[in-house]
A and B are shown apart, each in its own frame.
Chain A
Amino acid sequence: MIRVQREDFDIGRELDRLAAGDHSVGGVASFIGLVRDMGGPEPVSALTLEHYPGMTEKKLAEIEAEANRRWPLSASLIVHRYGRLEPGDRIVLVATASPHREAALAACHFLIDWLKTDAPFWKSEATPEGERWVAARTEDDAAARRWREEQ
């Protein structure tokens, strides 16, 4: 399941719900992305996430389908926020449930790596020097490419 929303999410509730009632699930893996106060050299007081409504949901659904094609998942969830966030706020939740931990952990890692480079989101940071667009990191491209090579 995927959700793109302005509102915060409740981690406990989301993770509980993911595997509720499915007793074949042996493990749930999760990643929670948070707003850092130091993206670059200057302190960051807020982060604004912009996205491409319509395409965002489509790309996240494709990425999720790809994870389900590669690993035997019982359930998966991507919740990605947009709008204005502050340091410490949650940005994204990725969670995967599977009978075995290897599949859940690998699929969770794959999903967060891929959505960093493939989902149409853009971050802008508020700093003492003004608003600054976050530049794409080559490390993120390399992390996503690793999964393509392993395909």
Chain B
Amino acid sequence: MKLLYFAWLRVRIGHAEEDLALPAGVHDVAGLLDWLRGRGGGYAEALRDVAVVRVAVNQEYVGRDHPISDRDEVAIFPPMTGG
């Protein structure tokens, strides 16, 4: 899958995107966020307060129980501040 990070999540994680094989045991957004936080370092710091983080799968906003597959584009970002 393709992972994209924006705004302060991108800064704390240290890069804007990466390709990742779906980790074993990860089936939904909540599982992916837990798995990423478990990588430690910038990931743990960026995802420490995971409740504020928003997620889009294939460019649609989704909830924590949304399923994840190996072909998905998953974007992780803070609340939007456009306009």
The chain A residues found within 8 Å of chain B, CB to CB, are: 33, 49-52, 54-55, 58, 80, 91-92, 112, 115-124, 133-136, 140
Which B residues are CB-close (under 8 A) to A54? 59
A55 & B82 in contact (Cβ 8 Å cutoff):
no
- CB-based contact B59/A55 at 8 Å: yes
State whether B59 touches A136 (Cβ < 8 A): no
Complex interface: chain A residues within 8 A of B81 (CB): 116, 121-123, 133-136
The residue of chain B having its C-beta at the shortest distance from the C-beta of A120 within the complex is B80
Complex CA–CA separation, A3 to B80 (angstroms):
18
For the complex of A and B, 3 pairs with smallest distance between CB atoms: A121-B82, A136-B79, A116-B83
Across chains A and B, the number of contacting residue pairs, with CB separation under 8 Å, is 67
The reply to whether A120 and B83 contact each other, CB–CB distance below 8 Å, is: no
| B contact residues, range | 10 to 19
Residue of B nearest to A58 (CB): B59
- Please list 20 pairs of residues, one from A and one from B, whose beta carbons are closer than 8 Å in the complex, sorted by A's number: A33-B83, A51-B82, A52-B6, A52-B59, A54-B59, A55-B75, A80-B83, A92-B83, A115-B82, A115-B83, A120-B56, A120-B82, A121-B80, A122-B7, A122-B78, A122-B82, A133-B7, A135-B81, A136-B79, A140-B83
Complex partner residue of B83 from A58, A91, A133, CB under 8 angstroms: A91
Q: Which residues of B contact A134 (CB under 8 A)?
A: 81
Q: Does B4 contact A (CB under 8 A)?
A: yes
A49 — which chain B residues lie within 8 A by C-beta? Answer: 82
Residues of B within 8 A of A121 (CB): 80-83
CB distance from B36 to the nearest CB of A (A): 18
Please give me the residue from chain A that is nearest to B82 by CB atom.
A121
Chain A: CB-nearest residue to B8: A133
**In this assembly, does B77 line the interface, its C-beta being within 8 Å of a C-beta of chain A?**
yes
When the two chains form their complex, are residues B80 and A119 in contact, meaning their CB atoms are under 8 A apart?
A: yes
Contact B78 A52 (CB under 8 A): no
